Amino acid sequence: MQNSNSELIESARKKFARFRELKREHGEEVAWESMLEGFPELQKQRMDTLLALPTLAEGFRAAVPYFRAVGMEMDVVDISNRGMDAVLEIQRFCPYLEVCREYGFETPCHVICEMDMEASRRAFPEMKGEILSRQAFGSPVCIFKYQRPAKTDAATGKPAPAET
């Protein structure tokens, strides 16, 4: 496994085990909502500073070192257009593909990625996220798209220039 961070894998193991236990005891819907309790607040805490930057691309690029430190290879592509501040987050390595099967899950997507997307949506209602590509379904990379209305300059009403 490429991932050198055992802490990340151990955290995923706990998450898969907890979700499996809650699902068995209470069903899918209750398990999902239980796992999300407090997660949007955590996402807000983790991402607020990054998303406060003028563009999503700047914020996501600032997160690259964190992902690299946990063994993930992340690329960021600015796709802003037509009044939308938008970015593609491309993950070349999914550290969860192997560990999810240990807990009886076909893919890690629902318990990890879809839950992250939902927590982000709840934490940042102005931002929309979507999973475009998944390694678990045979794609060479995972691609996540995030978008929000472009920030505007208060004086001109035009899109704010990106800081360089």
Q: What is the CATH number of the domain that holds 58?
A: 3.30.1380.20
Q: Is residue 1 part of a domain?
A: no
Token code pair at residue 26: 């209470």
Q: Is residue 27 part of a domain?
A: yes
Q: Is residue 92 part of a domain?
A: yes
Q: Is residue 145 part of a domain?
A: yes
DSSP character at residue 146: E
Q: Is residue 79 part of a domain?
A: yes
How far apart are the C-alpha atoms of 16 and 142, rounded to whole Å? Answer: 19
42 or 4, higher pLDDT: 42
Of 89, 77, 95, the residue nearest 136 (C-alpha): 95
Q: Which residues touch 81 (CB under 8 Å, ≥6 apart)? A: none
**Domain that includes residue 59, residue range:** 6-149
Q: Is residue 35 part of a domain?
A: yes
Tell me the pLDDT tens digit for each residue of 11-51.
Answer: 899 999 999 999 999 999 999 999 999 999 999 999 999 99
How far apart are the C-alpha atoms of 88 and 47, rounded to whole Å? Answer: 16
Q: Is residue 158 part of a domain?
A: no
pTM (two decimals):
0.86
Q: Is residue 154 part of a domain?
A: no
* Per-residue pLDDT, 32: 96
Tell me the pLDDT tens digit for each residue of 69-116.
Answer: 888 899 999 999 999 999 999 999 998 988 898 898 999 999 999 999
102 or 143, higher pLDDT: 143
Query: In total, how many domains does the chain have?
Result: 1
